[in-house]
Amino acid sequence: MTEQLLPSVEFVVKTLAHTAIENEKYFGDLDAVVGDGDFGYSLARGFELVERDWDSFDRTDASTFLKKVAVVITSRIGGTSGPLWGTAFLRAATVAAGKSEGDAGTAVAMLRAAIEGIEARGNASLGDKTLLDALAPATDEIAHQAELGSDGPTTVRAAAGVARESADETAKLQAKRGRVAYTGERSIGSVDPGAVGVAVMFEALADTWPAHFEGKTA
């Protein structure tokens, strides 16, 4: 079943922003284990600006809206997070171009475009201990649930479960990208904060999806 794309995108971005701000200390504490601890701070500051400028964003369509979010994220989030998250939103916007409606397949296409953007911008791959190690498996799960014909709440909850499990598994990996890569084998044993951030965001979406899209399917 298709949905109006712009309201769905707005809901997702709003949830991500709220989650990033609410979990600033948690994400920062995770990053401080072997990193510089600025992940939570940087992400929260960027999404605070998204919330601040929310009413001024051009809502001609979902693609235009996402491009505006990408500009704010890229220009205002410090470190490596800004370019990566900004690129993700921009690539998703490209897929959304010309679409007024979308379904789970649209979501998967947007997420996979975002993943490809992150891979290219960060020169990262699965197994490098980055947010990709949670985002890619969660996206695959959304595609799987779509094949099963699952409804929206079931699909998002399943994706959240996979994202959390995958994020926890990053503790076994050695970081190969970002500043934490300089710690070498010391990075083994702690989870990747970006991957955990993705899991927490999916969990927030799973918690709020049923009420927001009551009676609708993915």
Q: What is the CATH number of the domain that holds 15?
A: 1.25.40.340
Question: What pLDDT is attached to residue 68?
Answer: 96
Contact present, 65 and 58 (Cβ < 8 Å): yes
Q: Is the pLDDT of residue 47 over 60?
A: yes
Residues 6+ apart with CB under 8 A from 7: none
Listed range (47-51, 82-86, 175-179, 206-210) with the worst mean pLDDT? 175-179
Give the helix/strand (H/E) hosting 29. Answer: helix 24-32
Both tokens of 173, joined, read 């990996």
Residue 42 lies in a domain: yes
Q: What is the pLDDT of residue 3?
A: 82
Is the pTM higher than 0.85? The answer reads: yes
- pLDDT score at 21: 96
Collapsed DSSP state (helix, strand, coil) of residue 92 = helix
Domain assignment present for residue 156? The answer is yes
Domain total of the chain: 1
In a domain, 189, yes or no: yes
For residue 217, pLDDT beyond 60? no
End-to-end Cα separation, the chain, in angstroms: 6
User: Is residue 158 in a domain?
Assistant: yes
- Once rounded to an integer, what is the mean pLDDT over residues 9-30? 95
What is the reported pLDDT for 122?
A: 83
217 assigned to some structural domain: no
Tell me: pLDDT of 33 over 90. no
Task: Supply the pLDDT for residue 42.
Answer: 86
Please determine, for residue 218, whether its predicted confidence score (pLDDT) is greater than 90.
Answer: no
Which one is predicted more confidently, 196 or 216? 196
Can you give the residue range of the structural domain that contains 46?
3-212
Please answer whether residues 1 and 218 qualify as being in contact, where contact means their C-beta atoms are separated by less than 8 angstroms: yes
